[in-house]
């Protein structure tokens, strides 16, 4: 898999660099998010924990994936500004398990 940076934009207010990329993957399936994060961190010379892959889109029959990623200045900035489900997808945060209480079962009403 090879990754090409299509667009790179500095966002100082949110302490990050926003990157649009294109991943070519001949004779392979759609790349995993972890593999893309590894390649982007190497390309942009940033720690892997600071790289957040937001979206990746592939089309049927094409051997390329287009995506959008954000490279934060620090992990703390990523945890502060990024949405929780994106952090879970990038394995920077554990998914919260919500336990729902089940109402006590009532006996069925008696026929009259």
Tens of pLDDT, residues 50-96: 999 999 999 888 889 999 999 999 989 888 988 888 888 888 888 87
DSSP element (H, E) containing 65: strand 64-72
Tell me the whole-structure pTM to 2 decimals: 0.76
Query: What residue ranges do the domains of the chain occupy?
Result: 2-89
pLDDT recorded at residue 6: 94
Distances 87 to 3, 7, 65 between C-alpha atoms, Å: 22, 23, 21
Q: Which CATH class is domain 2-89?
A: alpha beta
Tens of pLDDT, residues 11-30: 999 999 999 999 998 888 88
Q: Is 51 helix (H, G, I), strand (E, B) or coil?
A: strand
pLDDT recorded at residue 95: 81
What percent of the residues of the chain are helix, what percent strand, and what percent coil, each to the nearest 5?
25, 30, 45
């Amino acid at each position: 898999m090879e990754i090409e940076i299509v667009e790179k934009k500095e966002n100082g207010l949110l302490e990050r660099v926003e990157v649009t990329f294109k991943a070519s993957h001949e004779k392979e399936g759609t790349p995993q998010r972890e593999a893309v994060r590894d390649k982007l961190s190497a390309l942009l010379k940033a720690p892997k924990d600071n790289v957040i892959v937001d979206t990746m889109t592939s089309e049927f029959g094409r051997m390329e994936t287009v995506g959008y990623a954000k490279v934060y200045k620090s992990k703390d900035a990523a945890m502060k500004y990024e949405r929780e489900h994106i952090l879970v997808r990038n394995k920077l945060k554990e998914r919260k398990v919500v336990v729902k209480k089940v109402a006590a079962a009532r006996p069925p009403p008696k026929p009259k």
